Amino acid sequence: MAGTGKAHLRNTDDVLLRVEDLVVEFPIGRTGLKVNAVSGISFDVLKGETLGIVGESGCGKSTTGRAIMQLPSPTSGSIVFNGTDLTTLSGEAMREARTKIQMIFQDPISSLNPRRNVRDIVLEPLSIWNRGTKAEQLATVDKILEHVGIDPERAAESKPHQFSGGQCQRISIARSLVLNPQMIICDEPVSALDVSVQAQVVNLLEDLKKEFGLTLVFIAHDLAVVKNISDRIAVMYLGKICEVSGSEDLYRNPAHPYTDVLLSAIPVPDPTVAVKKISVEGEPPSPVSPPAGCRFNTRCPNASDRCRSEEPTLREIEPSHFVACHHPLFGGDAPVTVRSN
Amino acid sequence: MNPLDIVRSEAEPLVETVEIKTHFKTPRGIARAVDGVSIQIRRGQSLGVVGESGSGKTVLSRSIMGLLPRNGVIREGSVRYQGQEIGNRTPKEMRSVWGREMAMIFQDPMTSLNPVMKVGKQITESLRLHLGMSASEAMTIAEKLFRDVRIPEPTRRLNQYPHELSGGMRQRVMIAIAMACGPNMLFADEPTTALDVTVQAQILELISEQKRDRNMSLLLVTHNLGVVAGYTDEIAVMYGGKVVEKAPTKTLFADTKMPYTEALLRSIPRLDQPSHSRLATIPGRPPDIVHPPKGCRFAPRCAYVRDLCLNEEPELQQASTPDHTFRCFYPVGSPEYLERKVELTRKGELVSTGDLS
């Protein structure tokens, strides 16, 4: 996969977050080797939009989410949020900026302090930032807990282990909302939950998004969930973006062979549908020494010599549908203008 | 009915449970994890056991295999393997059954492999113990098993420790270990939950291929109805320690009877739904198995609940479709169900997710 390239970035006023050439590398001890977790990706998110990021384990999707929060700061690249480049901020200014971008995590139980009662957990951000009097803070907390469907009285006297996984995820969501953020980064928020509970949390996020005017970055490996919640989806593979598109288009018309593989691997809850033959073998190569050219070439059914040497860049193959592939599933033979950066 | 099916239906079940109960003593009281479950699995057949967390699906498979602690557990009912009672055997007596007759693949391949033993040693262990092979014989077989489960470079991999393998590769090792002594019955407890969706497809494909080649029976425990749909002949839906609906896979999806099964199916996000469509949810939480509700265990969460459901527990009854049983007074399609459905639709409380019933 692909690739770099910025053809898919939009130049409108309501861009809330714009990430360009994001690179995150982790050195391995003193070996001089490094893990190329994210290798030069760019994307943007408009106000009120939900961007879904999907990919297999190790593709860099969580690292991308964390890099936006500067946890840790990226190796290079810019992250412009509301007109400010977060990578240039230091210490105190970044702490302040984080009140506008909040995060919720995969494991709802371990992301809450087991020794504190739930109301205090949700209150903590407000007391750190001294927002209002103690009474006002408590009122805000209770209001938000009601919003996410947790009984404030029970929260005042219970610890996280007294709640179920779904309820703990609601509590995490409440904690992320108390500072009235503009954007929430959801890192696999429903992967650890049962299907019925998963649906409750997805519905809740949709409701809160409307009510609080939130912008979401939704990171997950379950494409069906991502499709349901997202307006736009970026598919990642081994630290690169292979395809960016509106969520309906992506599912109806996948252009990158990898997207097609991901889609065909989803089990269909219908026994009359024949199980689709998997068209991909093996597992992603190591991000320590990623393959040259397109990073998907080692597993791609369509790989050619060109794919093994030349890295494809993102280009538009239909309106608002971008793919980084030399041999996309459609639109490959049509004359395409490759926009360079 | 094709002739093969008749032969199969006449065959003795390989594994059969009759009204088994597994209760745990807890500080809060008796937890009825499995509360009277009867299932049969014939040779070469696969049964999917589906349910939410806490429905008793994992305890059921462990009860059959005899993998539960002796202390603090109350067991009742009978477990038969090839017609013989195995439910009351001691772990020592079960040793000849484990590995050789029945094997299990667990959810988390990292914690179920020994981290300080090379995987080659872990796979040859059972071959030497059960089949009395020499170390070198066992190694040759192990290499063949690794090749069967498509582990690249089997010779090198046999010499590695679990942490040197990826999640998918570890699960392949688990499958190879389970296959080693050629069991008749394979239990797979959420074998793909910890894996990526592409690797999940590969592992499920591998399990069903091994089942076919070895004419093994399979009990697949999962919370994902999508997983069981493609890989099982029959499905049992569990709720609060009981089987609430059991049917051949196609019948279960096409002719759902139990409102719980219907609700479970509706809550799965589907790719053919437009984005931002409201997902159907099941309100509330699974029942407390220490103090289960008096009537139907699903009644407090059921949209079609009536007085009778809250006071009396429905028996398992036969549906008009063959081999199909369910536990409900007002099943999907009954006049009472339809009447309530009209009401709910009018009030806008029913989320439509396409034509499921």
- Answer yes or no: is pLDDT of A120 > 90: yes
Under the banding of pLDDT at 50, 70 and 90, the label for residue B6 is very low
- Answer yes or no: is pLDDT of B78 > 90: yes
- What is the average pLDDT across B40-68? 92
Using DSSP, how many helices (H) and how many strands (E) does chain A show? 11, 12
Cross-chain CB nearest to A227 (options B166, B263, B271): B271
pLDDT of residue B133: 93
Higher pLDDT, A231 or B351: A231
pLDDT of residue B41: 95
ipTM, interface predicted TM-score of the complex: 0.80
Q: Over pLDDT 90: what percentage of chain B?
A: 63
- Determine, for residues B231 and A278 on separate chains, whether the beta-carbon distance falls below 8 Å: no
Distance CA B220, CA B228 (A): 7
Higher pLDDT, A282 or B351: A282
Q: Which residue of A150, A270, A288 is the best one to mutate when testing the B interface, meaning the one whose CB has the most B CBs within 10 A? A: A270
Q: Which residue of B has its CA nearest to A272?
A: B250
- What is the average pLDDT across B296-320? 94
- What is the average pLDDT across B135-154? 92
Mean pLDDT of chain A: 89
Under the banding of pLDDT at 50, 70 and 90, the label for residue B354 is very low
Name every chain B residue with its beta carbon within 8 A of the beta carbon of A230: 275
Picking from A105-119, A177-191, A277-291, B35-49, which range would have the lowest pLDDT averaged per residue? A277-291
- Using alpha carbons, select from A35, A15, A12 the residue that is nearest to residue A24: A35
- Determine, for residues A266 and B281 on separate chains, whether the beta-carbon distance falls below 8 Å: no
pLDDT of residue B9: 45
- Answer yes or no: is pLDDT of B4 > 70: no
Q: Which residue of A has its CA nearest to B265?
A: A269
pLDDT of residue A332: 67
- What is the average pLDDT across B92-103? 91
Q: Which residue of A has its CA nearest to B201?
A: A265
Name every chain A residue with its beta carbon within 8 A of the beta carbon of B280: 199
Name every chain B residue with its beta carbon within 8 A of the beta carbon of A223: 197, 271
- Determine, for residues A224 and B271 on separate chains, whether the beta-carbon distance falls below 8 Å: yes
Under the banding of pLDDT at 50, 70 and 90, the label for residue B20 is very high
Q: Over pLDDT 70: what percentage of chain A?
A: 94
Picking from A223-232, B20-29, B197-206, which range would have the lowest pLDDT averaged per residue? B197-206
Under the banding of pLDDT at 50, 70 and 90, the label for residue A277 is low
- Determine, for residues B230 and A231 on separate chains, whether the beta-carbon distance falls below 8 Å: no
Q: Which residue of B46, B110, B196 is the best one to mutate when testing the A interface, meaning the one whose CB has the most A CBs within 10 A? A: B196
**Chain segment A247-256, per-residue pLDDT in tens:** 999 999 999 9
Distance CA A329, CA A258 (A): 10
Under the banding of pLDDT at 50, 70 and 90, the label for residue B192 is confident
Q: Over pLDDT 70: what percentage of chain B?
A: 95
- Determine, for residues A269 and B281 on separate chains, whether the beta-carbon distance falls below 8 Å: no
Name every chain B residue with its beta carbon within 8 A of the beta carbon of A56: 196-199
Strand order in the sheet with B73-81: B29-42, B13-26, B73-81, B84-85
Question: To the nearest whole angstrom, how far is the Cα of B303 from the nearest Cα of chain A?
Answer: 14
- Determine, for residues B201 and A267 on separate chains, whether the beta-carbon distance falls below 8 Å: yes
- What is the average pLDDT across A171-178? 95
- Determine, for residues B267 and A202 on separate chains, whether the beta-carbon distance falls below 8 Å: no
Q: Which amino acid is at A89?
A: L
**Chain segment A9-41, per-residue pLDDT in tens:** 888 889 999 999 999 999 988 888 999 999 999
Under the banding of pLDDT at 50, 70 and 90, the label for residue B201 is confident
| Interface size, chain A vs chain B, as Cβ–Cβ contacts under 8 Å | 127
**Chain segment A293-330, per-residue pLDDT in tens:** 999 999 988 889 999 999 999 999 999 999 999 999 98
pLDDT of residue A102: 95
Go through chain A and tell me how many residues it has. Answer: 341
B240 vs A341, B86, B148, B290, B335, CA distance in Å?
A: 59, 25, 38, 10, 26
In the numeric block, the tokens 């570890």 are attached to B170
Name every chain A residue with its beta carbon within 8 A of the beta carbon of B269: 198-199, 202, 222, 224-225, 227-228
Q: What are phi and psi of A167, to 5 degrees?
A: -65, -40
- Determine, for residues A261 and B198 on separate chains, whether the beta-carbon distance falls below 8 Å: yes
Q: What is the pTM of this model?
A: 0.86
Asked if residue B154 lies in contact with residue B147, where contact means CB atoms within 8 angstroms, the answer is: yes
Cross-chain CB nearest to B198 (options A231, A273, A280): A280
Under the banding of pLDDT at 50, 70 and 90, the label for residue A272 is confident
Q: Which residue of A has its CA nearest to B225?
A: A269
Name every chain B residue with its beta carbon within 8 A of the beta carbon of A228: 269, 273, 275-277, 279
